[in-house]
Amino acid sequence: MTENDDIRDAAIEVGKDSSREKYAGLSDVLVKAVLEKRETLAPVMSAVYIFKNSSIDQQEKKTYRFMMRDENGRGWYPLFTDREEIDRGTLSNATVPTTVEEILQLALFDEACSGVVVNPFGPSIAVTHDMLENIFLRYCREAIWEDELKKPSGSLAKKVLGYLDKLCAMQVSGAFVIKGAMYYEGRGVAQDMAEAASLYEKGADLGDSLALSNLGYCCLYGNGMRVNKKKAYCCFSAAAIMGEHDAINMLGDMYRDGVYVPENKTIAYRIYRRGMDVIYPDHSSDAYPANRMRLGECFMKGYGCRQDQKLALTLLTEAKGVFEEQSRAGRIYAGSGLKRTEALLTELMEAMKDKES
C-alpha cells in the first residue's frame, strides 16, 4: 500500500458511479492529501541548453512537466498515485518528486490547463477547474484555523493568502469570504474589520450566500462599517432565500426582536421552522444548534406557536449537547450559544417546577 491509495480508490469509485456523493468523496481525499502535504512522483522531460558566459561555455538543465491532451485538444496535468501507475504508460523514464498540492495548484492556476487527470493510464478520472477551486477553498478554510495562523505573518499565512489572492483575481466568490474571515478574526493578518466588510461585499456582489450573510452581520452590528439595519435585513433575506443557515436564524431574530421590521414573533417562528427543514440534514453546521435553541425558546414562551414545555426541553437539550461538542472541537462561536442555551434551560426548568407545584 502507498499513502495515496485512497486517491486511487476514490477515483475508481467515481469511475463506477459518477454521482455527486462519489465526486465529493474524491474531493475529500484530495483536500486531505493537500493538508497532509502528501508526496508523489511526476514524469518530466529535460533539455540541456548551452550558453556563452564570457569565455566559458555553461550548461543549464531545464525540466518540463508533461501536460497531456485529450481528444478535444484540452490540456490536463497527470496526477499519479504511485510509481506503478506511471509505469503503465510511456510518458517518460524521468520523474521528479513533488507533492499532490503542487500538481493541483499548477493545474488550477495554469490558464492553458483544464484540470488534473488522476492515473491517466489506469481507471482515470478528470478533476476539473471547478473541483480544483473547491479543493483549494476548503484547504484555505481549514488552514486559517491552524494554530500557526493565530498571529499575523508566517509561511502558512503567506501561502494561504497567495492562493486566496489568485482565486479572488479569478472572481471565485468563496475566496473573498475566506479572506474576509481572516481579516475579521485576525488570522494570519492584522485584524481589520473594514477590510473584512469590503471583502464580504465583493463576495456578495458575486452572489455568494455566505458573503451576504457575513455582510449582514457587519451591517447589523457596525463591524468595519456604519450600522445599516436596512441593508442587514436585505442581506439576510437574500442569503436566507439561498438557504444560508446563519442568515435564516438572523432573519428570524430581526422579526422576533423588531429590528428594522415590526416585531412579529409568528413570522420569526415560521422562519426558524423553515430553517429546521433546511439545516436539519447538516448536523455539522454551526447554525444547527443555534436553530434548535431558537425553536426551543419559541415553544418555551409560545412565540408564534402553542406553548409546549416538553418539546422545548427536547430542543434545548439537543442544542446544548451539540454546542458542547462544537465547543470541544474549537468552534469559536459555540461558547456564546452554549451560555444562552443553558440560561434558557435554567429558566425552563424553573417554570416547569412552578407548574408542577
Q: What percent of the chain has pLDDT over 70?
A: 92
Rounded to an integer, the average pLDDT of 265-281 is 90
Residues in the chain: 357
Average pLDDT, the chain: 90
The DSSP string of 204-228 is HHTT-HHHHHHHHHHHHHTSSS---
Look at residue 91 in the predicted model and tell me its pLDDT. 66
DSSP characters over 129-171: HHHHHHHHHHHHHHHTTSGGGGSS-SHHHHHHHHHHHHHHHTT
For the record, the C-alpha cell of 329 comes out as: 472541537
Query: What are the distances in angstroms from CA 158 to CA 136, 142, 196, 295?
Result: 14, 15, 17, 42
Domain 144-242 and domain 249-357, same fold? Reply is: yes
Confirm if 327 and 342 have CB atoms less than 8 A apart: no
Task: Please check whether residue 156 is in contact with residue 143, taking contact to mean a CB–CB distance below 8 angstroms.
Answer: yes
CATH architecture group of domain 249-357: Alpha Horseshoe (1.25)
Q: What local confidence, expressed as pLDDT, does residue 45 receive?
A: 61
Angstrom CA distances, 143 to 41, 138, 159, 164, 188, stand at 25, 8, 10, 12, 10
Query: What would the DSSP string read from start to end of 257-290?
Result: HTSSSPP-HHHHHHHHHHHHHHHTT-TTSTHHHH
How far is it, in rounded angstroms, from Cα 4 to Cα 24?
A: 17
- Strands (E) in the chain, as ranges, are 39-53, 56-65, 68-69, 75-79, 95-99, 113-118, 125-128
pLDDT digits (tens, 9 = 90+) for 80-109: 999 888 888 876 667 888 999 999 999 999
pLDDT at position 67 is 83
Which residue, among 119, 58, 117, 69, has the nearest Cα to 89 in the 3D structure?
119
pLDDT tens string 127-137: 999 999 999 99
pLDDT at 62 over 60: no
Torsions phi, psi of 178, nearest 5? -65, -45
- Give the Å distances, CA to CA, from 186 to 36, 64, 180, 287: 24, 39, 10, 22
What's the CA gap between 208 and 174, in Å, rounded? Answer: 7
* Cβ–Cβ under 8 Å, residues 315 and 299: yes
pLDDT exceeds cutoff 70 at 333: yes
Domain coordinates in residue numbering, the chain: 5-128, 144-242, 249-357
* pLDDT tier for residue 218 given thresholds of 50, 70 and 90: very high
CATH topology of domain 144-242: 1.25.40
Q: Is 302 left (phi over 0), alpha (psi -120 to 50) or beta?
A: left
Q: Provide the pLDDT for residue 233.
A: 98
269/281 Cα distance (integer angstroms): 19
Report whether 142 contacts 34 (CB < 8 A): no
b (16+ CB within 10 A) / e for 3-21: ebebbbebbbbbeeeeeee
Q: In this predicted structure, what is the pLDDT of residue 52? A: 43
pLDDT per residue as tens digits for the range 293-324: 999 999 999 999 999 999 999 999 999 999 99
Assign 251 a pLDDT band (cuts: 50, 70, 90): very high
